[in-house]
Structure 1
Amino acid sequence: MLQLIRKDFMLHRNILVILLGVLIIYLVLGAPPIWVGLVFILVLSMSTFGNDEKTTINLFLNSLPFTRKEIVSSKYLSVLIYTVAITILLFLGSLLIHGRIMEWQGIVFMTMLSLLSLSFMLPFAYRFASKYLMIASLVLFAAYFAVVNVFIPNLNDIIRESVGTLVSLESTAPYLIVCVAVLAIFALSWVLSIRIYEKKVF
């Protein structure tokens, strides 16, 4: 399985370098590190996933001495590695560039929201294809836009205030509950993706 993870890093090292450069630019420009981190974790995880969806790549992977469970597990472990790596880069970047230390609440919020999003995106991509995620995203965006314009005009303000309140909480109990819940969902997503991939025919 470690060989599969290493394969991901070697095949996508150019993407990693480009995204690292863009990440540094965003930090220099003073973009909010929480949202930058969220976007980069999702983009990096799904871009590396998308390259492995080609039929020839899947046939090659399945010809190797790895089970389908190991192939899927390596992808989920890679996601965790990307999440930790980007979090560390954001922490160091904020400290070195702006002299600010990221609050632990913001770090937890970013990582948990990233893992929660990927918990739904990865099984969807295994079941259908990552290209359909773009269509689904556009549909969700259109629905959100309709809700904001027709039903709840101040929805953006509500979300902004809710996130601000959550990040400013001092108690660790709510964060602990959220972490346990998100990790449980991530684990269930992992199992679901394995079952979906094991039933696929290439």
Structure 2
Amino acid sequence: MYNLIRKDFILQKYLMLFYLFIAIFYTMTGMSMGLLITVLSVFFTINSHYYDEKGKNNVLLNSLPFSRKQIIASKYIGVLIFLFITTLTIWLIRFICQDIVSNSMTRGNITELLISYAIAILFVSFYFPFFYRFPNRILLSGFSILVIMMVALGKTIVSKFGNVMSDFIGGIQTFSSQFSTTGLYISAFVITILIFSSSWLLTLKIYENKDF
């Protein structure tokens, strides 16, 4: 499995330089650390899947002495490793540029970091089962239709989304005020892990039933 994880990083070795540039640039501009980690993790996840689909690499992978369980496990574990490396890299950049960018590890920063991890993990949990289930041509068609709808109904969507998010955030704040911060962290952690584990098993089942 080590070689499978290593493969994903090697295939993106040039993109890693691009990720590093983004990390340096946006850290220097004071961009939210949590948002930066989330965005880079999303890029890594999407490109990891893209390179396997490109040139029918999945066919080659399945001809090698790797089980499908190992192939799927390498995807999920690889994202977790990338999250860890990205966090350390951004912290290092902040430390080096501490005269320009605040480097204080306050409670808010820790909370922001945990939220970014949760968002990145949830994205992976929904992304992999969906994209392993449907062919790229169907996904491309669906994405194109979605973009056209968003352009045509842009103002309406933004207005409706703003109202929904406002109501949602208000509801979350009301609900969370009934519990302690520690209890909320533990609950969020357990829920995220359950979703991540369920996604892993679902993706494995989809991949095992797939013909190449």
TM bin, normalised by shorter chain, reads 0.7 to 0.9
Match of 1:128 in 2: 134
Match of 2:182 in 1: 172
Q: Is it true that 1:90 corresponds to 2:90 in the alignment? A: yes
Match of 1:118 in 2: 124
CA displacement at 1:156 relative to structure 2: 5.8
4+ residue segments displaced more than 4 Å: 133-138, 151-166
Match of 1:195 in 2: 205
Q: CA RMSD, aligned part only?
A: 3.1
Q: Measured at CA, do residues 153 and 21 of structure 1 come closer, stay the same or move farther in structure 2, by a change above 3 Å?
A: closer
The percentage of aligned residue pairs carrying the same residue is 31
Between the aligned partners of 1:36 and 1:130, the Cα distance in structure 2 is 27
Q: Measured at CA, do residues 134 and 17 of structure 1 come closer, stay the same or move farther in structure 2, by a change above 3 Å?
A: farther
Q: Measured at CA, do residues 59 and 107 of structure 1 come closer, stay the same or move farther in structure 2, by a change above 3 Å?
A: same
Q: Measured at CA, do residues 148 and 54 of structure 1 come closer, stay the same or move farther in structure 2, by a change above 3 Å?
A: closer
Match of 1:42 in 2: 42
Q: Measured at CA, do residues 144 and 174 of structure 1 come closer, stay the same or move farther in structure 2, by a change above 3 Å?
A: farther
Structure 1: tracts of 5 or more residues without a match = none
Q: Measured at CA, do residues 159 and 38 of structure 1 come closer, stay the same or move farther in structure 2, by a change above 3 Å?
A: farther
Q: Measured at CA, do residues 35 and 159 of structure 1 come closer, stay the same or move farther in structure 2, by a change above 3 Å?
A: farther
| Equivalent residue for 2:114, pick from 103, 108, 114 | 108
Give the letter aligned to residue 116 of structure 1. Answer: L
Give the letter aligned to residue 87 of structure 2. Answer: T
Q: Please identify, of 138-147 and 20-29, the stretch whose mean Cα deviation from structure 2 is larger.
A: 138-147
Structure 2 length normalisation: TM-score?
0.80
Match of 2:102 in 1: 99
Asked if structure 2 preserves the Cα contact closer than 8 Å seen for 1:94 and 1:101, the reply is no
- State the structure with more CA Rg: 2
CA deviations 1:102-161 (Å, max 9, x no partner) are 421111000011101110011111111467279449739838863443x46545666788
Structure 2: tracts of 5 or more residues without a match = none
Q: Secondary structure at the match of 1:52?
A: helix
Give the letter aligned to residue 146 of structure 2. Answer: V
Work out the number of aligned pairs and report it: 199
